[in-house]
A and B are shown apart, each in its own frame.
Chain A
Amino acid sequence: MVNNENHSQIHPMTLPLTSLVPGQIASVCAIHVGEALQHRLHAMGFRAGKRVRLIRQAAFRGPLHVRIDSTDIIIRHRDAHCIELRLT
């Protein structure tokens, strides 16, 4: 299952990773992707409760540059949209 239909499931207190502004921090609460990507995201540090900071976003809806602890990650806008965060 991928993004759009998940909009309805998103709790009002939460927001997708793509809604952060540079410098903002929020913690991971759910990841709405297939199993394979879920494993990869887990291994990269996207785990429930982890604090994610948006560093910057590329022009033309390009990828996002985020930081979790001391790992920097580049993630495409479409994939980042499936990661649901809670503001802390």
Chain B
Amino acid sequence: MKRIALLGMPNTGKSTLFNRLTGGSARVGNWPGITVDLLAAKIPVGGAIAELVDLPGIYDLHGYSDDERVVRHFLEEQSIDLLLILVNGVQLERQLVLALQLAELGIPAVLLVNMIDEARSLGLSIDCGKLGAEIELPVVAISAKYGEGRQAMGQTMAHTLLTGGNARPGTAILRLAEDDRIEQRAAALAAQTMRAPLVLPERLTDRLDRLAMHNVLGLPLFFLTMLGVFAGVFWLGEPLQNGMQFLFDAFSTHVLEPALAPAPDLLRGFLIEGLYGGITTVAVFVPVIVLFFLFMALVEDSGYLSRAAYLMDALMARLGLDGRSFVMLLMGFGCNVPALMGTRVMRSRALRLLSMLVIPFSLCSARLQVFLFIIAALFTPWQAPWVLMSLYLMSFTLAFLTALLFKGRRAFRSEEPFVIELPPYRLPTLRQIWARGWMEVRHFLVRASKIIIAGVVLVWLLTHLPAGVAPAGPASYAGMIGHVMQPVLGPLGIDEKLTVALIFGFVAKEVVIGALAVIYGLNGDALTSQIAHSLNWIQAYSFMLFCLIYTPCLSTIATLRSESRSLRYTAFAVAWPLALAWFASFVFFQIASRM
């Protein structure tokens, strides 16, 4: 099978094009460095099937950050039949340098001048025919986002793949001395083939930035925006949550219970209170989470993250981190795993390790479900948003505090430069937003079908064995575990029942609420009121604090391990939050319950 690779600088639209060509859902975002790993899919090209590979963006062929290394390995070790070289048409001159370097690898290539829509609206025009003749490569102008030029691109790809293009003997990896020559050539080419107005028109981006990047207003505006996003998710999410609950309850009373009426008690209990109750308690939150990710997609694709990096870098520098670390903390609000991977763009290992140490404090969407659930049970609708906000603040505070405490250690000290591109603001298309939402639903279904079911089943067994005990009573295994842990967790106000839920939250935070449903043998409103009855708000908040801070989920730990390639570091990154969680909950519970 022929292999086609997408190459170009970061943020030029490679993943957007990949999605368009494959119908796939590679992550797209207006932030240089969204893709940090390979992603392949099969597409038909000129009557045959070929493999299309999306790669991280690179600035040149000399880089040595972990994402750039992925690309270099790929170029060195895989046979490639066609390179699709993407450049941002708005920045043709600058990006042409990389395109020319790549062309010299000697692999048949097509140059795609992307974002032609943006170039046009700035009044730029590019003579692709002339450019192609000069560099002896087929050149096609496209808009990956809006689909323009798709046909011409398809034909050119098929033709080049079939004929092998005009492949020339390649230099394996460029010699550094060649760079100057190529830079001059790129400048000359751009001058010949590109027509630009003398003064670029003022863009909407420039006007927005005057406010968004304002020295005084910028930061407050940023936090207000974040607040708006969370408030939006919270208020729009609640009716969705209630709707789901209603549907699940109706299904249980009208279908499940009658259908299972003849089944033996134990089996019925297991299926209804265990499996169904546990899973639906988590599933109720799916619409909220999808909503949350739609908002995240909007933020990520708007380009506002780069502005956040600009606004926060001065503070982050004092914490031994940089603007990119802050952006990854924000991405961690969705899920910690891609945020950890996103640090691959950092060249300094020390900076990467310190960033990865703080990212797990980011209140991810799984933890959000737990908090929404507990907050709804224990607090009034008026208190709820403030409680949630306090947890988000806590999440930032602990991340910053951790960085501050450890930045001086040799392993975490870095002198990494901070230079990033500032892309213009962009609006995602409905199709992009939809793709993102759908991806999250699928992601949930995959998790639900494995981890959540397994967790719920295990909790049910622990609460019902040995045979004949009162469910989740002191004689059950769950009760015994809770009892053993009491000396440690008792001082935090966390009782036996919550203890078991916490232990399972170690696998995945969503399991915490599924486990609570099973432990109490209730779901829906009955569960919330039971929890409201058996906990006071201080205990509940202490439990949430512990949940927020303690050991990240298993996937996060696995990612920490694979990205750091150090067992010692991973152990530390697990132990420190655990210790901090205990300490924070202890202090909170002891002080609050004495007041």
Contact A44 B59 (CB under 8 A): yes
Contact B98 A74 (CB under 8 A): no
Whether a CB of chain A sits under 8 angstroms from the CB of B478 is no
A56 and B213 alpha carbons, distance in the complex (Å): 9
Chosen A-B contacts, 9 in total, with CB atoms closer than 8 Å, are A2-B415, A39-B62, A42-B97, A43-B59, A45-B91, A58-B310, A65-B213, A70-B200, A78-B417
Question: Number of residues in A with C-beta < 8 Å to the partner?
Answer: 32
Which residues of chain A (17-72) have a CB below 8 Å from chain B?
A: 33, 36-37, 39-45, 47, 55-56, 58-63, 65, 68-72
- Chain A residue nearest to B92 (CB atoms) is A70
B311 CB contact (under 8 Å) in A36, A45, A58, A72: A58
Q: Collect the chain B residues with CB atoms within 8 Å of residue A73's CB.
A: 419-422
Q: Collect the chain B residues with CB atoms within 8 Å of residue A41's CB.
A: 419
- Chain B residue nearest to A59 (CB atoms) is B215
Whether a CB of chain A sits under 8 angstroms from the CB of B515 is no
Q: Collect the chain B residues with CB atoms within 8 Å of residue A70's CB.
A: 90-91, 122, 124, 196, 200
Q: Collect the chain A residues with CB atoms within 8 Å of residue B124's CB.
A: 70
Nearest 9 A/B pairs, CB to CB: A62-B314, A43-B59, A76-B418, A72-B422, A60-B314, A79-B417, A59-B215, A75-B419, A45-B94
Contact A74 B183 (CB under 8 A): no
A74 and B417 alpha carbons, distance in the complex (Å): 11
A34 to chain B, nearest CB (A): 9
Contact B9 A43 (CB under 8 A): yes
- Chain B residue nearest to A82 (CB atoms) is B417
Whether a CB of chain A sits under 8 angstroms from the CB of B309 is yes
Per-residue A-contact encoding for B280-313, CB less than 8 Å = 1, 0 else: 0000000000000000000000000010011101
A44 and B91 alpha carbons, distance in the complex (Å): 10
The secondary-structure label for the interface of chain A is mixed
A33 and B418 alpha carbons, distance in the complex (Å): 13
- Chain B residue nearest to A41 (CB atoms) is B419
Q: Do A74 and B314 form a contact, CB below 8 Å, given A36-B64, A39-B60, A56-B213?
A: no
Whether a CB of chain A sits under 8 angstroms from the CB of B273 is no
A55 and B83 alpha carbons, distance in the complex (Å): 36
A66 to chain B, nearest CB (A): 9
Contact B419 A76 (CB under 8 A): yes
| Residues of B bordering A, CB below 8 Å | 9, 59-60, 62-64, 90-91, 93-94, 97-98, 122, 124, 179, 183, 196, 200, 209, 213, 215-216, 218, 306, 309-311, 313-315, 317, 322-323, 347, 415, 417-424
A74 CB contact (under 8 Å) in B90, B196, B415, B420: B420
B517 to chain A, nearest CB (A): 47
A69 to chain B, nearest CB (A): 7
- Chain A residue nearest to B421 (CB atoms) is A73
A37 and B347 alpha carbons, distance in the complex (Å): 10
B93 CB contact (under 8 Å) in A37, A39, A69: A69
- Chain B residue nearest to A80 (CB atoms) is B419
Contact A36 B347 (CB under 8 A): yes
A11 and B67 alpha carbons, distance in the complex (Å): 38
Contact A74 B94 (CB under 8 A): no
Contact A71 B94 (CB under 8 A): yes
Q: Collect the chain B residues with CB atoms within 8 Å of residue A45's CB.
A: 91, 94
B359 to chain A, nearest CB (A): 21
A44 to chain B, nearest CB (A): 6
Contact A74 B306 (CB under 8 A): yes
Q: Collect the chain A residues with CB atoms within 8 Å of residue B62's CB.
A: 36, 39
B212 to chain A, nearest CB (A): 11
Q: Do A58 and B59 form a contact, CB below 8 Å, given A70-B200, A79-B419?
A: no
- Chain B residue nearest to A68 (CB atoms) is B94
B59 CB contact (under 8 Å) in A40, A65, A69, A75: A40
Contact B417 A76 (CB under 8 A): yes
Contact A72 B215 (CB under 8 A): no
A44 and B216 alpha carbons, distance in the complex (Å): 28
- Chain A residue nearest to B89 (CB atoms) is A70
Contact B314 A58 (CB under 8 A): yes
A40 and B179 alpha carbons, distance in the complex (Å): 12
Q: Collect the chain B residues with CB atoms within 8 Å of residue A33's CB.
A: 417
A58 and B313 alpha carbons, distance in the complex (Å): 9
B323 CB contact (under 8 Å) in A40, A56, A74: A74
A72 and B420 alpha carbons, distance in the complex (Å): 9
Q: Do A76 and B91 form a contact, CB below 8 Å, given A40-B419, A65-B213?
A: no
Q: Collect the chain A residues with CB atoms within 8 Å of residue B315's CB.
A: 60
A78 and B317 alpha carbons, distance in the complex (Å): 11
Contact A59 B310 (CB under 8 A): no
Q: Collect the chain B residues with CB atoms within 8 Å of residue A69's CB.
A: 91, 93-94
Contact A63 B63 (CB under 8 A): no
- Chain B residue nearest to A76 (CB atoms) is B418
Contact A74 B309 (CB under 8 A): yes
- Chain B residue nearest to A60 (CB atoms) is B314
Q: Collect the chain A residues with CB atoms within 8 Å of residue B200's CB.
A: 70
Q: Collect the chain A residues with CB atoms within 8 Å of residue B93's CB.
A: 69
Contact A71 B91 (CB under 8 A): yes
Q: Collect the chain A residues with CB atoms within 8 Å of residue B216's CB.
A: 59
